[in-house]
């Protein structure tokens, strides 16, 4: 089977995307490292926790939400725990499970640093986009994320038996 090479439009799009993504992540990481003392990934782990019920999630669910491997999450949570921003608890209804919970201090850090982070995201990305382009951006990447999420090895919630869920079946 002969290779379906990229057209020159696709090449240009791909290169622009890669370049911008590197620059963007650099800018965001630099700002968060400065102001919050942690890289972007760690910040979004805190953010994910802050939006969960009771500000806590099982490790696997948190990894799924953050789109990272469990082992990477284990390391990150250990660091955040050492900093006092997250607390680890045992899962009540599943002896194997462990739960990461945002501490009050973690919540405080998040609240203190959120404005600066949002400002950076704006200055780096949205300030350069029209309202229309924001819509296009969302549609494009929602499609891609959707496709990669099911195509990948991570099953969708609907495909798995109840015991895979994060909440106990009878509550």
Partner DNA sequence: GGGGCTTGGTTCAAGTTTGAAACAAACCTA
Partner DNA sequence: TAGGTTTGTTTCAAACTTGAACCAAGCCCC
What does the binding site for DNA look like in residue numbers (CB under 7 A)? 26, 29-30, 33, 38-39, 41-42, 58-61, 68-79, 88, 91, 94-99, 161, 163-164
Residue of 92, 88, 104, 109 lying closest to 42 (CA atoms): 109
- Where does this chain bind a second copy (CB under 8 A)? 3-6, 9-10, 12-14, 16-24, 26-27, 44, 66-68, 114-115, 118-119, 121-122, 124-129, 131, 133-145, 147-149, 152
9 or 161, CB closer to DNA? Answer: 161
- Taking the complex as a whole, the smallest distance from the CB of residue 133 to DNA amounts, in Å, to 27
Residue of 66, 56, 112, 113 lying closest to 86 (CA atoms): 56
Which tokens sit at 99?
């739960």
The CA distance from 8 to 2, in Å, is 18
**Binding partner at 53 among DNA, a second copy, none, C-beta below 5 to 8 Å by kind:** none
- CA-based R_g, the chain, Å: 19
**Binding partner at 19 among DNA, a second copy, none, C-beta below 5 to 8 Å by kind:** a second copy
Contact 45, 66 (CB under 8 A): yes
Token match 């990305």: residue? Answer: 125
48 or 103, CB closer to a second copy? Answer: 48
């Amino acid at each position: 089977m002969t290779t379906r090479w990229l057209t020159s439009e696709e090449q240009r799009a791909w290169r622009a995307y890669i370049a911008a993504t590197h620059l963007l992540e650099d800018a965001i990481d630099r700002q968060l490292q400065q102001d919050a003392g942690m890289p972007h990934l760690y910040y979004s782990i805190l953010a994910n926790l802050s939006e969960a019920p009771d500000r806590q999630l099982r490790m696997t669910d948190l990894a799924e939400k953050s789109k990272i491997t469990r082992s990477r999450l284990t390391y990150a949570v250990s660091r955040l725990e050492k900093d006092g921003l997250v607390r680890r608890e045992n899962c009540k209804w599943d002896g194997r499970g462990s739960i990461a919970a945002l501490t009050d201090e973690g919540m405080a850090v998040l609240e203190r640093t959120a404005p600066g982070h949002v400002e950076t995201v704006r200055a780096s990305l949205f300030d350069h986009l029209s309202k229309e382009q924001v819509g296009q951006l969302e549609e494009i990447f929602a499609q891609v994320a959707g496709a990669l999420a099911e195509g990948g090895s991570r099953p969708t919630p609907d495909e798995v038996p109840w015991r895979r869920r994060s909440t106990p079946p009878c509550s």
